[in-house]
Amino acid sequence: MPTATHVRAATSASGWQRELADAIRDPAELRDLLGLAATEIPAAARAFPLLVPRGFVDRMRRGDLRDPLLMQVLPLAQEDASAPGWSSDPLREADALAGPGLVRKYRGRALLLLTGGCAINCRYCFRREFPYAESGATRRGVAAGLDAIADDEAITEVILSGGDPLLVDDGFLADVLGRLERIPHVRRLRIHTRLPVVLPSRVTPDLAAVLGDSRLARVVVIHANHPAELDATVAAAVRTLASTPATILNQTVLLAGVNDSAATLAALSERLVELGVVPYYLHLLDRIRGAAHFDVEEQRAVELHRRLRESLPGYAVPRLVREVPGEPAKVWIA
Ligand SMILES: *Cc1c(COP(=O)(O)O)cnc(C)c1O
Ligand code: SF4
């Protein structure tokens, strides 16, 4: 018979999976929940549909189409407008696929794609058209990616990516970590995930136990764009993550209408610091087709960043960067 502890663990482990299954996929339902009038659904939403967990919707203002959290997830007619220079693979990641499940584009670091799935569909996502099925973001692809990492001594850091790598279950994650531990040249593990922000219930004590037990140096990079995303549920998830030896960083994408003001960016940094998260990157938007309406001109971005530097302590100022295809690292803009 299972003990009470076992029962509790099993319940909490499936809690986030139930929440994910219950996420909103119907724009009409989202509209009704927020008391909004109908908006036109773009054709682009057929291939990349609405997906947003209810807990994230709870942090939106009702009756406001310009709410900065809503704007990140609501498919809008502008997505169908074509814009020259905005393409389906702006970072030319297809060129960097080094075999199934593995992306090699940074020196010493390899990206292992654990899954193509996400808990939320961000309209500005540079991988919104990424061919996950063909790129090996499957269990068999991951196994092949692990073999390729074992064969290449130049790889000292493995970045679990996706999709969202924390969407896989704890057992699979523990298997992958175990395999990485046994590859002597791998010294660091990095996880890029938006789940602590958009589905904080994913960060269970069981997950912390999986992440906590490793010889690898560990870094978790979360992804928040606006201070309103960082409510008490996120604070609790970050506290659980912080119970492991992992360093916790945040990356933000600079998005017109969402966070392109010095006051919003400063509030985001201050909130992150309060939670114990280091603001790491402020990304200029990648030129993915359908997201041109989120663009902030580089000159304005530099000006916003200058104002951040003037108003915040140095450790709270993220690096302003752009990803340039073919470059071995991010380009620092300021
Ligand atoms: C930039 C980037 C990396 C590598 O990050 P560094 O911190 O510059 O090493 C990995 N994954 C994604 C998706 C990135 O955009
Ligand atoms: S969570 Fe990250 S990978 Fe997933 S849709 Fe959003 S930006 Fe893209």
3-class SS of residue 157: strand
3-class SS of residue 27: helix
Nearest residue to 196 via CA among 235, 253, 246, 252:
235
- The DSSP letter of residue 237 is H
Span 31-59, mean pLDDT?
A: 94
Question: pLDDT-based confidence at 13, cuts 50/70/90?
Answer: very low
Instruction: Find the residues whose C-beta lies inside 6 A of ligand 2.
Output: 118, 120-122, 125, 127, 162-164, 194, 223
**Lowest-pLDDT range of 7-21, 27-41, 273-287, 294-308:** 7-21
pLDDT at 137: 67
Question: Which pTM was predicted?
Answer: 0.93
Span 194-215, mean pLDDT?
A: 96
- Ligand 2 centre to CA of 116 (Å) is 10
Cβ within 8 Å of residue 189, ≥6 positions away: 157, 158, 160, 177, 180, 214, 216, 217, 218, 219
**Lowest-pLDDT range of 130-139, 241-250, 271-280:** 130-139
- Ligand 1 centre to CA of 213 (Å) is 24
Question: pLDDT-based confidence at 323, cuts 50/70/90?
Answer: very high
Ligand with minimal distance to 221 CA: 1
Ligand with minimal distance to 121 CA: 2
Q: Which fold has domain 4-332?
A: TIM Barrel (3.20.20)
pLDDT at 7: 43
Span 319-326, mean pLDDT?
A: 92
pLDDT at 34: 97
Atom of ligand 1 nearest to the CA of 190: 10
Residue 11 has pLDDT above 80, yes or no: no
pLDDT at 133: 59
Q: How does the average pLDDT of the chain come out, rounded?
A: 92
Any atom of ligand 1 within 6 Å of the Cβ of 132: no
Phi, psi of 247 (to 5 degrees): -80, 135
State which H helix or E strand residue 191 sits in: strand 188-192
**Residue extents of the structural domains in the chain:** 4-332
- Ligand 2 centre to CA of 287 (Å) is 15
- Ligand 1 centre to CA of 5 (Å) is 38
Any atom of ligand 1 within 6 Å of the Cβ of 192: yes
pLDDT digits (tens, 9 = 90+) for 75-113: 999 999 988 889 888 878 777 777 777 888 888 999 999
